[in-house]
Amino acid sequence: MTLSDMIDPFSRAQTPPPQTLGRFVRWALKGAWPVLLPAALLSTLGGITEVLSAWMLGAVIDRATETEPGALWAEQGMFLLGCAAFFILLRPAVLGLSAYAQSVVMQPNVFNLILSRVHRYTLGHSVTFFDNDFAGRISQKEMQTARALNETVSEVIQAILFALASVVGSLLLVGSIDWRIAIGLVVWIVGYALLINYFMPRIRERSKARAAARAMVTGQLVDTVTNIKTVKLFAHDEFEDQAALGAMATYRERFIAFGHVSAQFRFWLMALAGTLPVVLIGSALMFWSSGFVTAGDIAATGAVAIRLSQMTGWVSFVLMGIYANVGELEDGIRTITPSHTLLDAPGAQPLEVREGRIEFRDVEFSYGREEGGIERIALDIAAGEKVGVVGASGAGKSTMVALMLRLYDAEKGGIYIDGQNISEVTQESLRRQIGMVTQETAMFNRSALDNIRYGRPDATLNEVIAAAEKAEAHEFIQSLRDHMGNTGYDAHLGERGVKLSGGQRQRIALARAILKDAPILVLDEATSALDSEVEAAIQSALDRVMEGKTVMAIAHRLSTLSEMDRIIVLDHGRIAEAGTHDALLAQNGLYARYWNRQSGGFIMAEADEAAE
């Protein structure tokens, strides 16, 4: 194992992230401390070498003034060679090892350690968490949190510990020269601490506000770019520009507020830093004139004073960065670490699908509202049965599917698969047993191969091609070409599959579901984006895919459901009718009205609602 592998950058956290700063830092860095502590020691040693450099300068001057010029090398040669070895070998070795620990061993691994844990926890949030926020803002918070904590840890070790070691060492050095000079340094350190104590909390709060405003800018921009086609279709470039400018204006105001306090801090800090050489060197000269200190002591004191004065500016910049990062870190913690609202039950076991029977037992869900959702749905779908679900928009069709996938928990009642309550099995095992094709197909900006293989990541290329052929997708995939020159199954599809037509995207999604080959299949408007010719071409493939599976198919185009074993008609969240296609037509009820009012196979839901 190389030094760069001493931290496992992707090790899993065993607990959810705490929501307080100190505990979150310990959670995020767990496993990295065996490297962080030696890195801290190296940085401390680096600070000590700075003080030793000043001491050696003074010692060299004293020995030179106390020795006859002709006898200098004879009497002081070993000491001078030792000093040379210190500057040429030891000091560079300590500082070099410290830099290596920071740049190679620590920073790359700590950043990924934090980000992987934060991202893994974020993925565990329910869909409601993502519905309530910008996708760009959430991803920004993940990166912001990892970067801020990584930089904070790095700066504390690399700069603060180095500076503290230098200050303590300097205090000891000037104290050994004359205790009265040390008192002057102590007074200066107290003034420095008071200045930091006054400004840093203000910098921290304004940094937090700035980070929140920056995330809103990112969220606004990503939201616009993600929906750029809608922006163009409605000719709303100016509208979106104004929305972005509004977010930017808020960010600018927060940035200026941060700039005011940081500028004030740097001014007063530089003013205080300027007093240090005057106080220390002036004191040393005064005591030298009285015979209390030597010329070498003046040189050592001066070296310490100038080094600390220079370091003050560096440390002030680092401290502002640390407190700014802490503000951003707290802002990220507030966004990302809320408790998961949809958890596996304690001791949850994997779902075992032996037959594929699905039962809705008086299920109710209303999204926390007084109206909407579904009410007292009692439905028993036999193993291998193919059930169609129809209804006007808002009748509860998609809600039933979302509850069966446990994207939400039922407020009353329960859903059972082969007698197992889905709230008592692991969510991952539940969703592995259900294949789904939705109306709004989800495509990744990856290759066609990767998008289809998402259904079963270990599938071979031949298996992927076979699934694509069944979904009538193989032919158009072969003609794909992206801007990087990749062709066929290696061609990337663009963000959300923007390079494909709606029908092509749905055929990719069908191929993905075919490859997954789950025992339960959900089709939510699976062929809505296909023209009649393509739909007819893949209908036989769909029929083969549905063989031996329990199927729930949602459609507005009733012709796609006419061969289902049973059709459920939802109305205002309740089951209004149930039966075969022919039986429902014979009832001359809601389903028959839908059938009679459709044109070209589509339900005219709006016309129904207007008629009602």
Reading the block at residue 223, the tokens are 């939201």
Which of 244-258, 272-286, 522-536 has the highest mean predicted lDDT (pLDDT)? 244-258
Average pLDDT over residues 261-280: 82
pLDDT tens-digit series, residues 94-104: 989 988 888 88
Per-residue pLDDT, 600:
42
Per-residue pLDDT, 578:
92
* Strand pairing report for 386-390 and 566-571: parallel
Residue 594's identity, in one-letter code, is Y
Three-class DSSP category at 441: coil
Domains of the chain: 15-336 (1.20.1560.10), 351-433+522-530+551-612 (3.40.50.300)
Averaged pLDDT score across all residues of the chain:
84
Q: Are 550 and 385 in contact (CB under 8 A)?
A: yes
Question: What are the E-state strand segments in 16-112?
Answer: none
Per-residue pLDDT, 541:
66
Query: Which DSSP helix (H) or strand (E) runs through 416?
Result: strand 412-417
Residue 565's identity, in one-letter code, is D
- With cut-offs at 50, 70 and 90, classify the pLDDT of residue 421: very high
Q: What percent of the chain has pLDDT over 90?
A: 23
CA distance 365 to 376: 9
Per-residue pLDDT, 497:
66
* Strand pairing report for 566-571 and 574-579: antiparallel
Which of 162-176, 219-233, 340-354 has the highest mean predicted lDDT (pLDDT)? 340-354
Local structure of residue 1 (DSSP, 8 states): -
CA distance 105 to 296: 40
Residue among 313, 326, 221, 219 at smallest CA distance from 266: 313
Residue 392's identity, in one-letter code, is A
| CA atoms within 13 A of residue 321's CA, in its CB half-sphere | 19
| Residue 135 C-alpha from the chain's centroid | 10
- With cut-offs at 50, 70 and 90, classify the pLDDT of residue 604: very low
Q: State yes or no: pLDDT of 486 exceeds 60.
A: yes
- With cut-offs at 50, 70 and 90, classify the pLDDT of residue 52: confident
* Strand pairing report for 550-554 and 386-390: parallel
Sheet holding 434-437, edge to edge: 434-437, 520-524, 550-554, 386-390, 566-571, 574-579
* Strand pairing report for 520-524 and 434-437: parallel
Local structure of residue 11 (DSSP, 8 states): P
Per-residue pLDDT, 611:
39
Per-residue pLDDT, 324:
78
Give the residue, 560 or 376, on which the prediction is more confident: 376
Q: Are 561 and 388 in contact (CB under 8 A)?
A: yes
Give the residue, 234 or 561, on which the prediction is more confident: 561
Per-residue pLDDT, 565:
92
Give the residue, 1 or 152, on which the prediction is more confident: 152
Three-class DSSP category at 481: strand
CA distance 404 to 129: 19
Contacts of 397 (CB under 8 A, 6+ apart): 389, 390, 391, 524, 554, 570
Per-residue pLDDT, 6:
85
Q: Is 415 left (phi over 0), alpha (psi -120 to 50) or beta?
A: beta
Q: What percent of the chain has pLDDT over 70?
A: 93
Three-class DSSP category at 360: strand
Q: State yes or no: pLDDT of 532 exceeds 80.
A: no
Q: Are 570 and 373 in contact (CB under 8 A)?
A: no
CA distance 49 to 543: 78
Residue among 494, 381, 487, 374 at smallest CA distance from 446: 494
| CA atoms within 13 A of residue 450's CA, in its CB half-sphere | 11
- With cut-offs at 50, 70 and 90, classify the pLDDT of residue 306: confident
DSSP 155-175: HIIIIIHHHHHHHHHHHHHHH
pTM of the model as a whole:
0.69
CB atoms inside a 10 Å sphere around CB 328: 26
Average pLDDT over residues 110-114: 92
pLDDT tens-digit series, residues 129-149: 887 777 777 888 899 899 999
Query: Which DSSP helix (H) or strand (E) runs through 129?
Result: helix 127-131
pLDDT tens-digit series, residues 363-388: 999 876 766 788 889 999 999 999 99
SS3 annotation, 298-357: HHHHHHHHHHHHHHHHHHHHHHHHHHHHHHHHHHHHHHHCCCCCCCCCCCCECCCCCCCC
Average pLDDT over residues 15-38: 91
- With cut-offs at 50, 70 and 90, classify the pLDDT of residue 464: very high
Residue 285's identity, in one-letter code, is L
CA 361 → CA 269, 379, 546, distances in Å? 70, 7, 25
Three-class DSSP category at 509: helix
Of the listed ranges 43-52, 230-239, 255-264, the least confidently predicted one is 230-239
- With cut-offs at 50, 70 and 90, classify the pLDDT of residue 609: very low
CA distance 119 to 472: 36
Contacts of 106 (CB under 8 A, 6+ apart): 7, 32, 35, 36, 39, 153, 154, 157
Reading the block at residue 529, the tokens are 């984006």
Average pLDDT over residues 242-250: 89
Q: State yes or no: pLDDT of 89 exceeds 50.
A: yes
